[in-house]
Amino acid sequence: MEKRHLPEIIESDRLYFKKISLDLAEVMFRYVDEDRHRLSQFLPWPKFVTTVQHEVDYVNLTLKLWDSFEGYTYGLFKKDDHVYMGNIDIHAISWNWDRCEIGYWILGRYEGKGFMREAVKVFTQTLHDHGFNRIEIRCDPNNSRSSNVPRALDYIFEGCLH
């Protein structure tokens, strides 16, 4: 498949997803800091995000990955009030094999409302429309909320990595 960028803004019924930008770095840090304990139960990176500068560095990295067709990171926003809720990203892209992975996190106060299921559904369709035929989601099997997202969208469970 030929390399080509995903849209900078993607929408679903209740949400919109916008290419991550430096103006989000401070709120991203506050969210990670606020929800550090919960996020750290299932993700390795929260313990390394200890300053706003770490988020600035992360955003700059994601922008470089975007420009080089290696990854696409979006902020998740509610349409009704434009509140930022977390991130969804496309990574581990193999353009030669038409495959990629979806990763995501959401602030705890927005869990259990179907936002991430809606987000992954629209990204799955967007990626299929762009020519990807294998889309993977890897998550901690002990994180039932996260692992329920692909189940609800009829992803096929292929196994656990050890």
Is 4 within the bounds of a domain?
Answer: no
pLDDT at position 160 is 80
The backbone torsions φ and ψ at residue 15, rounded to the nearest 5 degrees and listed phi first, read -130, 160
Print the domain residue range for 119. 9-152
Q: Is residue 70 part of a domain?
A: yes
Over range 65-78, report the average pLDDT. 98
Pair 75, 65: CB distance under 8 Å: no
**What digits encode the pLDDT tens for the residues 113-133?**
999 999 999 999 999 999 999
Q: pLDDT by residue (tens digit) across 5-24?
A: 999 999 999 999 999 999 99
Domain for residue 157, yes or no?
A: no
Handedness of CA 153, 31, 75, 139 (dihedral sign): negative
The whole-number average pLDDT for the span 29-53 is 95
In a domain, 53, yes or no: yes
Q: Of the candidates 116, 59, 123, 64, which has an alpha carbon nearest to the alpha carbon of residue 90?
A: 123
Total number of domains constituting the chain: 1
pLDDT computed for residue 142 by the predictor: 87
Flag whether 123 is in a domain: yes
24 φ/ψ sector (left φ>0, alpha ψ -120 to 50, else beta): alpha
CA dist list (Å): 25 to 16, 32, 116? 18, 11, 21
Mean pLDDT is lowest, of 29-33, 122-126, 138-142, for 138-142
Helices 115-129 & 144-152, crossing angle to 10 degrees?
A: 50
Q: Given this model, what pLDDT does residue 136 score?
A: 96
- Is 162 within the bounds of a domain? no
d(C-alpha 114, C-alpha 9), whole Å: 20
CB-based contact 41:146 (threshold 8 Å): no
pTM of the model: 0.94
CATH number of the structural domain spanning residue 131: 3.40.630.30
